[in-house]
Amino acid sequence: MPSWSNVRADFPALNQNVGGKPLVYLDNAATTQRPQAVIDALDRFYRHDNANVHRGLHALSMRATDAYEGARARVAKFLNAAAPEEIVFTRGTTESINLVAGSWATANLRPGDAILLTEAEHHSNLVPWQLAAKRTGASLRFVPVLGDEGRLDLAALDRLLTKEVKLFAFTHVSNTLGTINPAAELCAKARKVGAISVVDAAQSVGHLPLDVRALGCDFLAFSGHKRGGPTGIGGLYGRRELLDAMPPWQGGGGMINHVDWQESRWKPSPERHEAGTPNIADAIALGAACDYLDALGRDKIAAHDRELAELAYERLSRLPGIRLLGPARGRSSLVSFAFSDIHAHDIVTFADEDGVALRGGHHCNQPLMRKLGLTGTTRASFYVYNTAQEIEVLAASLERILRFFR
Ligand code: C6P
């Protein structure tokens, strides 16, 4: 049973030195570390239960199928979906958004329709819609973000959300600004004009308590690896009637009821959208990550994240010449900043000498960076195992870097 008092001990990769210094891992928005419970779930599956799912009648295949479908039910419970069938396993957020863009958007959008996005979207929630717009003749609209605080311009949103808008896709938490968008309010606004809502929850699932029915979203995309789960697994939550009405976006084994030479008929969701052998072991380990996070307590995780991010924002604001992005308070678990005289890649390289792992660059938000007049930022992002003391190590490292460059 995990507990906050020894949470770091649950994550083996944290227990190492980098360049002779204890590792301070602050690149959690890119990917978190995995707890032993997740590593054990992978190991157990491959040692004891490894077989393909939904196809075999032998003992191992039945055990693998039960564990895989059990993981789907576990993820559904984690998100408070109405049924396990509302969860489609995918490679992650990017693939989930591409699934909706490739299937729902292709089937439903026409010339004259509009797709509404925000200016703070990750490329994974922008490029698939650009492709869908090209295919269907729909246009793209963008809700502006206001200044460095990065909050959405809700007055502009009300003007942009006209009846032509058939789909509103937005990020719950910005991976560059740390802004938390009012997701339930945005979904309600979309519903009012009859638009489908798609929430990019890459940076919120496993950080904020999240309930898809309370949010009132139609689709929600997430990744396992940003919340203690394995890479290569994530999911798409979709309302069941939408998923069942959508055409398949990929064809292959496992998703059909009947195949003939010229035509085939599809299974209902979720199988319809999971062609081919799925990522069985990682889905099962994702279920183990849900158990781990629930045992820690999701309200407590959110409070811990927020406390560290606000502490970091306050501590770093004392560094001369720093430009901090995103709101000072009520922010998500990351702090993003820039210095006009030092490139983000130099900061990340020098911080690495102090054992501090950061990320520098455009964070897959190129248009937003251009709007902010930046080429990139440096980002420190936190998770359950990070501490206030590590923020002091980060601040000391940045002070050393400033002294070196100035
Ligand atoms: N952001 C970051 O360092 P995937 O790669 O499919 O797991 O997640 C894509 C994605 C989508 N939306 C948001 C808001 C994201 O932050 C990400 C991933 C990483 O910020 C890698 S660029």
What's the pLDDT at 5?
85
Residue 246 token pair: 């959508």
Write the pLDDT tens digit of every residue in 104-115: 999 999 999 999
Write the pLDDT tens digit of every residue in 371-406: 999 999 999 999 999 999 999 999 999 999 999 999
CATH class assigned to 4-28+297-405: alpha beta
- Atom number, ligand 1, closest to the C-alpha of residue 175: 16
Write the pLDDT tens digit of every residue in 25-61: 999 999 999 999 999 999 999 999 999 999 889 999 9
Threshold 0.95, pTM exceeds = yes
Distance 256 CA to ligand 1 centre (A): 31
Residue nearest to atom 1 of ligand 1 (CA): 30
Write the pLDDT tens digit of every residue in 326-376: 998 889 999 999 999 999 999 999 999 999 999 999 999 999 999 999 999
Distance, CA of 97 to CA of 198 (rounded, Å) = 8
Using pLDDT thresholds of 50, 70 and 90, give the confidence band for residue 103.
very high
pLDDT surpasses 90 at 210: yes
What's the pLDDT at 306?
95
Distance 229 CA to ligand 1 centre (A): 14
- The answer to whether domain 40-295 has CATH 3.40.640.10 is yes
Would you please indicate which residues are annotated as catalytic (active-site) residues?
364
Determine the residue of 124, 279, 381 to mutate for testing ligand 1's pocket, defined as the one with the most ligand atoms within 8 A of the Cβ atom: 124
Determine the residue of 27, 32, 91, 94 to mutate for testing ligand 1's pocket, defined as the one with the most ligand atoms within 8 A of the Cβ atom: 94
Residue 336 token pair: 């993003």
Distance 30 CA to ligand 1 centre (A): 7
Written as one string, the DSSP assignment of 65-106 is HHHHHHHHHHHHHHHT-SSGGGEEEESSHHHHHHHHIIIIIH
Distance 122 CA to ligand 1 centre (A): 7
Using pLDDT thresholds of 50, 70 and 90, give the confidence band for residue 64.
very high
Using pLDDT thresholds of 50, 70 and 90, give the confidence band for residue 2.
confident
What's the pLDDT at 1?
78
Distance, CA of 162 to CA of 166 (rounded, Å) = 9
- 346-349: long-range contacts, CB 8 A cutoff, minimum separation 24: 346/401, 346/405, 347/378, 347/398, 347/401, 348/378
User: Rg of the Cα trace of the chain?
Assistant: 22
> Average of pLDDT values for 68-73?
98
**Where exactly are the structural domains of the chain?**
4-28+297-405, 40-295
What's the pLDDT at 3?
85
Secondary structure element (H or E) that encloses residue 355, with its range:
none
What's the pLDDT at 55?
80
Write the pLDDT tens digit of every residue in 283-305: 999 999 999 999 999 999 999 99
What's the pLDDT at 85?
98
- Cβ < 6 A, ligand 1 pocket: 29-30, 92-94, 122, 124-125, 171, 175, 200, 202-203, 223, 359, 363-364
% helix, strand, coil for the chain, step of 5 = 45, 20, 35
